[in-house]
Amino acid sequence: MERPFGLLAELTYRCPLACAYCSNPLELARYDDELPTADWQRVFAEAAEMGVLQCHLSGGEPLLRRDLVDLVRTAADLGMYTNLVTSAIGLSRPRAEALKAAGLDHVQVSVQADEPETSDRIAGIPSFERKLKAAAVVKDLGWPLTVNVVLHRQNIDRIAEIVALVEELEADRVELANTQYYGWAWRNRAALLPGREQLAHAEDVVRDARSRLAGRMEIVHVLPDYYSEYPKPCMGGWAARQIIVTPNGDAMPCLAAHTLPLPAPSVRENSLEAIWDDSPMFSAFRGTGWMQDPCRTCERREIDFGGCRCQAFQLTGDATRADPVCHLSPDHGLVTEAVEQANAGSRPALELLVPRPHRG
C-alpha cells in the first residue's frame, strides 16, 4: 500500500474573508473545538514517521492560530517542507520574519481579482491592498511565492489582467484554478459556473502567458470538472497521496470527504498511521474493487479511479457510482444540465451569492 507524502493541516476554519466559493464545510461550528498545539505537534511527528515530506498549513486562515510559529518550527525540525496557504490577512512583516526564522519554506497567497473593487467584493472585506503588501514582504524575505486565484463566472473574464498582476508581484508560480463545487461553492454553483466562451477565452490567455513567461513563472490552469470528458483522478487515487486533518482532528483523504456517509476517524483517538491503514474512511475506495460498471470494466479505471467519490455522492446519492462528470456515466445528464444552464444567458449577480460567514 502506498504511503502518504503530503499532510494538509487545516489548523482552523476561522477566516476574515467571506468568499462564496469557499470549499470549507457548511457546518463551520462543528469545527470550533480546535486541536491544541501539543496535538498538532504529535500529528506532525506521526506524519513524518510515516514518510510525509510536505506539510501544508491551511484553513480557514492559519495566521489566526497564535501558535503558528511553533507549529512551523516543529514541522521544519521534523524535516518536512512547510508551505503556508494564506489569505495574507495578518501577514505583517514581524510575523513573516518570525515564520521565516522558524523554518517556513514557501508561501501561497490567495488573490480574488486584479483590482480592488472586484477583489474586495468577492472577498467580502477590504483586503486587496493588504494582499499586495504581504506578497511584497514574501518576496523581500526570499520565499518562493505562489499566487492562487480561484476562477469563476465573476472574475474569469479578467484573467489576462489577473496574470498581469501576478507577473507584477513576481510570483514564482500561479494557480489559476476553476472553482470545485463543494461546500459554499456548491451552494452558489449557479452564479459561479462559467460559460463555454469564457473558458475558451481563458484557455487562450493561459496558452499565450505560458509561452511568454516560460522559465520565469510556472502557470497551473485547472479547468472545471463539469467541462471535462473524463473525470480527474481524485487526489491521485483515494487515500493514495495525502492526509487531511481538520481543525477538530478529523482525518480525511480529501477535502470534501466529510460529506460522505462514513465515520470520520479522529487523531484525538487514533494514530495517523492506524487511520491511514485501517479506518473505513481511508479504505472504502482504495483500489478498484468497490467499483460499479461502467468503471469496473473501463480501461481507464486505474487512470482516473472512477473520478471523485464526493462528487458522485453529491450528485447521485451513491458514492460508488461513476463520477457524473465522465461522459460514460449513466448520470452524466446531471452535469450537462448544469452546463447548459450556465450557457443559457444571464446569471445571478455576485451580490446574490451566499457568502461564507466571517469567523474570526
Annotated binding site, which residues?
15, 19, 22
Three-state SS sequence of the chain:
CCCCCEEEEECCCCECCCCCCCCCCCCHHHHCCCCCHHHHHHHHHHHHHHCCCEEEEECCCHHHCCCHHHHHHHHHHCCCEEEEEECCCCCCHHHHHHHHHHCCCEEEEECCCCCHHHHHHHHCCCCHHHHHHHHHHHHHCCCCEEEEEEECCCCHHHHHHHHHHHHHCCCCEEEEEECCCCHHHHHCHHHHCCCHHHHHHHHHHHHHHHHHCCCCCEEEEECCHHHCCCCCCHHHCCCCCEEEECCCCEEECCCCHHHCCCCCCECCCCCHHHHHHHCHHHHCCCCCCCCCCCCCCCCCCCCCCCCCHHHHHHHHCCCCCCCCCCCCCCCCHHHHHHHHHHCCCCCCCHHHCCCCCCEC
Return binding residues for [4Fe-4S] cluster: 15, 19, 22
